[in-house]
Structure 1
């Protein structure tokens, strides 16, 4: 027995030593790919010596002698810190994920092959202006210089993920950057999904009038400027102008309710305490680790530019230059339409056009799959766009036999000059110049908020489809593609895009809300991303005569829900202060305790409070009870709260209270009955999930920001190192937006919000600030992988200075790149 025990001890010891050695080897290989920021290196493709100063937040300040070298430097630093992220995005848009990840990504590859975005990106290279072509080439050279350095010096393949998945390090091409712009357009577009959902819902409802309840139009004429507060801006000149319109597994598509969002607002000097214009911007995207945003500063011939970049794209997408500040928000322009295409029953290779049968344009494409047999797909296009399979987007549920569905979308242009507009914006020195440069922008459509330090403006950028007045569905649902009136007739002129300049009240802003109410087909959109945040924004902005950088920061971080303030008195009107006190431990007492908490709550979605969780759970169960009887399984598509729907029901707008009666029950239920039952449902769920008293609940425990690694985030053990989870305040309808998942065992996880925040003060530009939600590095062994995340969570920012001496003062490293000898 003693001998057996001795050998067991030896074997365990050997196993522990081997395990430790394996961990050390893995760490060594992973650490080899950590970039050294304090080096001097000779690289190919550089014109003159280049200095990259990394400030103490690891933001690179690229000091170049020429613009070409500045773009080279941006490519180099992107590849240093985000090479895996860039490679993954490129593979996604190429439809080549399955070569690395196997069968779980075949559907994603299938979609991207059918959209053919990468082919369109290659064709778009020639459409860029000369300055942008030079930037694309220089940027690609910078990326490739880093890849050559990795290969030459055996720097761990550039990122740990390359060891695990074996993805090739192919040279970067100019078309790759344009393809990522198109991928971002796909990730910010939700009209395709909305059309399908509207069609499915209309088919499921017995009463057609109820469609306007569950998928409501935003009421009112829209908000873009605040003229009603103009009395507080004495001496302001100019009038609000709206340009006259002419007559006539890596699934990249967002879920319903999670298309692009954002906030941006600006105040001119008459509304600024400092006497200089102010601008705030926080674009919202799905959370990942690392975040999509990467902070950088470039020194161009026109001056310094600093702000948020997207790895793979050679441009400061949001930020400021010495002359201009700009921010982006999703405009919700309706730039996608689905078309029913009728097949020729005698020849399936043909579809019906306005003048007769037309042949599909076809091409075969092979999807190579790791450890599986390749799949060959036949790609088809009609005059309206690519044909999508019925298996995707639930298209099969709304496509009649003998038909297929095709997509028209502005991003499918083979001459997409959106990057030319983005590059031109960095060089613009005035608002008029910036607006003129943005005419080249195609997709994704955005609201561009601008200030040049003395004026403010807001311009919708992106191609607006030209539709016929007689379009059968007005772009709201799929329409027959063989009817000429349904088809697009090119794009509207840029002058048709809404523009708001020189507001008398001194303020412009957008929270993805409805901005104006023009009749179809000049309407911009029927679907908007916000009907609630704008109410809080309007209140805050009008609550002060003048604003400061700090007040703009305060508004970005505001967590009061106007939706909660509106809905709780409506749905609980008959529940408060009724009945007698109930004994402890009974459902009635639990309901009374919840209502007592909510009665004293001001709607602030603070991570430390229990009320937001009670409120959110109550509304979730209430909406499900209201719609489940009428929609059946389709109710699973409406997992996020729609405040306008609940308000219509509880105000009985146009008979919307009909949703409260459960048709399959003998009793006629009232809206108060459903509110009470839903609250009981919510409290039972809370008790089963959290097993604590109501007063001990924390919204932040349910509303964690999920910055998860897209590849390793579900791998046991590794997920503890690569995922970044943070308790957060805010919610779906607060200015500090944290959109919830809406489904699964953790429906209130924060999955979509402000990955970048910036506030620019043109009275003191070096006091401007910005932050991202994770860190600069995509390498999970780097201290810069998540160092900005805690600042972001606490509502803190870092300086946004163009002063090179401030960058050098506490630099984490200075990289000197010199041209390699021929």
Structure 2
């Protein structure tokens, strides 16, 4: 026995030693790609010395003798910190993910190839201004200079992920940067999904009930739409959608996660210090690292500082000494689906106003790791690329003998959006900023501006020109062979909504409805917010003057106006009613929950139990209201629709009909639905978090999921690459933390403000900003997540253009010199 024990101990010790040795070797190889920020390099392509000063938060401040050298330095710095992320963005835009990930990503590559994003970017390079083209080329040269260093030296292939996947990296090209902008457009788009969902719902419900579950934003709305079945009598009425879970690598977001943001500004008359104020926090899906990368560029026109996207050489959100700018999703309806009638005698022709015409076709081959290549035949009609029924659930609304095509401004070949963003960086005033953005095509954004004296909001991006008699007004797919449904060019830039120096001295946008103009100047019928704007208006009007601190307070506000308005409606017949119930019974648990909610102020604080009780109740309530009417289609409404709940409980237009279970003999009331759904919620909470309601914490369920897109689901590795944080906020708070909406963790915080910035032009150097993770994309770097805890606590870092301040606490200074 003693001998056996000794041998077992030796085997265990040997295995432990081998395991530790393997870990040490893996760590050594992975750590080789950590850059030395204090190094000096001799490089080709710069005219003079370039200095990259990384301040104490690892934000690079890039100095050079020419603008081209500065952009070269930015490319070098971003490649040092985010090489894997940049190459993944490029691969996604090129439709080449399957070369690494096999069959898993063939559907993603197929969609991107059919949209032809990368070729559109290639064709757009020559349409940029000479200065913008020079910046794109210099940036690409800087990225390639770092790739040369990786290839020449023992630098761990440039990023640890390249030890697990192909280490080959093609040289960076100017078109790669433009393709990433188009890829962001794909991520921010939502109108295709909205059109399909409205068509599917129209096939399943009468028009009055469609208006309940898909209501228009408050304000004068649109007259009744045609019944989709009237447009296409042969459309499949109950076709099942693809229920495959969304891949983390897919750039196509669910309808509710397509894009959101906040931005607001105050004129000097409404600022305590007498200078303009601007706050901006764009909302995107969380990843590790964040999509945002902070940087400062010292250009001939002056210093600019703010947030960039790795791979794109421009400060997209930020400020100079004279001007600040922020972006929010405009929700411009810049996409239209068309149903094309295929020639029954020739499947390569579709009907047009002039008769049947051939489709434009091209073959594309997707290389698939571990499998045979996939050959696609790409097709375009006069309206745009033909998309298969498997994409966007188009098969559920496309009748036999037809195919679907897409018109979308982002597919414009001569896209000058980058040049507009480049010129915006150099603008000195609100007026110059608006003028610089005229050539911006897409993705459409609301641009909020502030200089020393003025504030403005201008929607930028090309507005499609639709005919007054368009059959669905862009809200549902329409027959593509009818002239009245086709786009007729673009509206002039002057048609884009514009607000300059409003009388009240404050303007802002939370993706809410901007204005009320008749179709086709309406901008959109689908807006991203009807709730947060209410809270923002109250916070802005509660003060006569504002400060940097009050703008920060508004960015971090976690009070839900939705909770404050809906709880009194759905609990009106439940609060303080009924007989006393013994402890341990469902009735007693219900009374305890109602008692907590009755005293709650609607603050979605991570440490409180009430937000979790409320959110679970609303989720269960909507499920009970819609499941019997919509069946599988109810899965498309994964998030609470507050306007729908309000319509039902106010019985607007007979909407209380949703409370009746259509399959039952009796007629159920909304009070019963509220009570039953609260019981459902309490059972779910007990199963997942325990029975003690007072000990629940919203933050335990509302975890921010900054997950690595590739390694985030890999056993063991996920503990090193994913960043999880308990967070406050919710779907309808200014500090937005959009929930996943799907099991098993429906309240995970998956979408929010990955960047926050507040700019004070009374003292520009007191401006602040922050991102949700860190500057480095390397999991072994101390800068991988060092900004994340500050972000979670609602803290910021200085946003200074003072070079001496950057040098004073620098974590390193990189020198690039001509070879």
- Normalising by the smaller structure, the TM-score range is over 0.9
Output the CA distance in 2 between the equivalents of 1:13 and 1:730. 49
SS in 2 for 1:257: helix
Q: Deviations over 1:667-722 (max 9, x none)?
A: 10111110000000000000001114000000000000000000000011110000
Pairing of 1:413-428 with structure 2 (within 5 A): 413-428=412-427
Output the CA distance in 1 between the equivalents of 2:3 and 2:371. 49
SS in 2 for 1:253: coil
Q: Deviations over 1:216-262 (max 9, x none)?
A: 0011269xxxxxxxxxxxxxxxxxxxxxxxxxx21111102111100
Output the CA distance in 2 between the equivalents of 1:737 and 1:5. 58
Deviation at residue 322 of structure 1 after TM alignment: 1.1
Residue equivalent to 1:138 = 138
Residue equivalent to 1:433 = 432
Output the CA distance in 2 between the equivalents of 1:290 and 1:585. 46
Q: Deviations over 1:124-173 (max 9, x none)?
A: 00110001000000000000001001111120011000111114211000
Residue equivalent to 1:448 = 447
SS in 2 for 1:376: strand
Pairing of 1:295-334 with structure 2 (within 5 A): 295-334=294-333
Output the CA distance in 1 between the equivalents of 2:15 and 2:691. 43
Pairing of 1:444-523 with structure 2 (within 5 A): 444-523=443-522
Moved more, 608-617 or 6-15: 6-15
Output the CA distance in 2 between the equivalents of 1:168 and 1:614. 50
Output the CA distance in 2 between the equivalents of 1:167 and 1:579. 68
Output the CA distance in 2 between the equivalents of 1:547 and 1:73. 38
SS in 2 for 1:450: strand
Residue equivalent to 1:235 = none
Q: Is the 8 A contact 1:535 1:562 kept in 2?
A: yes
Residue equivalent to 2:224 = none
Q: Does 1:784 align with 2:783?
A: yes
Q: Deviations over 1:355-377 (max 9, x none)?
A: 00110101111111101111111
Deviation at residue 353 of structure 1 after TM alignment: 0.4
Q: Is the 8 A contact 1:85 1:311 kept in 2?
A: yes
Q: Is the 8 A contact 2:708 2:722 kept in 1?
A: yes
Q: Deviations over 1:551-578 (max 9, x none)?
A: 0000000000000000000000000111
Pairing of 1:231-630 with structure 2 (within 5 A): 249=247, 250-630=249-629
Q: Does 1:752 align with 2:751?
A: yes
Q: Deviations over 1:487-546 (max 9, x none)?
A: 001110101000001211111100000010111111000000000000000000000000
SS in 2 for 1:419: helix
Pairing of 1:705-724 with structure 2 (within 5 A): 705-724=704-723
Residue equivalent to 1:814 = 813
Residue equivalent to 1:644 = 643
Output the CA distance in 1 between the equivalents of 2:265 and 2:257. 25
Deviation at residue 6 of structure 1 after TM alignment: 3.3
Pairing of 1:68-217 with structure 2 (within 5 A): 68-205=68-205, 207-217=206-216
SS in 1 for 2:574: coil
Residue equivalent to 2:53 = 53
Output the CA distance in 1 between the equivalents of 2:360 and 2:104. 28
Output the CA distance in 2 between the equivalents of 1:13 and 1:796. 46
Output the CA distance in 2 between the equivalents of 1:677 and 1:167. 56
Shift in CA distance, 221/772, structure 1 to aligned 2, threshold 3 Å: farther
Output the CA distance in 1 between the equivalents of 2:457 and 2:218. 22
Deviation at residue 744 of structure 1 after TM alignment: 1.2
Deviation at residue 46 of structure 1 after TM alignment: 1.0
Output the CA distance in 2 between the equivalents of 1:613 and 1:43. 55
Moved more, 438-447 or 3-12: 3-12
Residue equivalent to 2:239 = none
Output the CA distance in 1 between the equivalents of 2:118 and 2:220. 39
Q: Deviations over 1:365-407 (max 9, x none)?
A: 1111101111111110000000000011111010000000000
Q: Is the 8 A contact 1:221 1:514 kept in 2?
A: no
Output the CA distance in 1 between the equivalents of 2:694 and 2:168. 53
Q: Is the 8 A contact 1:114 1:387 kept in 2?
A: yes
Deviation at residue 485 of structure 1 after TM alignment: 0.4
- Aligned residue pairs total 793
Output the CA distance in 2 between the equivalents of 1:540 and 1:5. 71
Output the CA distance in 2 between the equivalents of 1:36 and 1:514. 48
Output the CA distance in 1 between the equivalents of 2:276 and 2:452. 5
Deviation at residue 10 of structure 1 after TM alignment: 2.6
SS in 2 for 1:150: helix
Residue equivalent to 1:225 = none
Output the CA distance in 1 between the equivalents of 2:728 and 2:492. 42
Q: Is the 8 A contact 1:100 1:167 kept in 2?
A: no
SS in 2 for 1:283: strand
Deviation at residue 453 of structure 1 after TM alignment: 1.4
Q: Deviations over 1:414-471 (max 9, x none)?
A: 0111100110000001111111110010011000000111100000000000000010
Output the CA distance in 2 between the equivalents of 1:781 and 1:692. 40
Give the TM-score taking structure 1 as reference length: 0.96
Deviation at residue 809 of structure 1 after TM alignment: 1.0
Residue equivalent to 1:18 = 18
SS in 2 for 1:169: coil
Q: Does 1:762 align with 2:766?
A: no
Deviation at residue 770 of structure 1 after TM alignment: 0.2
Output the CA distance in 2 between the equivalents of 1:769 and 1:99. 41
SS in 2 for 1:439: helix
Output the CA distance in 1 between the equivalents of 2:579 and 2:213. 36
Moved more, 688-697 or 724-733: 688-697
SS in 2 for 1:316: strand
Q: Does 1:799 align with 2:798?
A: yes
Deviation at residue 7 of structure 1 after TM alignment: 3.2
Output the CA distance in 2 between the equivalents of 1:168 and 1:549. 47
Deviation at residue 3 of structure 1 after TM alignment: 4.1
Give the TM-score taking structure 2 as reference length: 0.96
Unpaired runs of 5+ residues, structure 2, are 222-246
Output the CA distance in 1 between the equivalents of 2:631 and 2:621. 15
Output the CA distance in 2 between the equivalents of 1:744 and 1:694. 21
SS in 1 for 2:303: strand
Deviation at residue 15 of structure 1 after TM alignment: 1.8
Q: Is the 8 A contact 1:221 1:516 kept in 2?
A: no
Output the CA distance in 2 between the equivalents of 1:692 and 1:211. 38
Output the CA distance in 2 between the equivalents of 1:167 and 1:187. 27
Q: Is the 8 A contact 2:157 2:167 kept in 1?
A: no
Output the CA distance in 1 between the equivalents of 2:7 and 2:691. 49
Residue equivalent to 2:653 = 654
SS in 2 for 1:309: strand
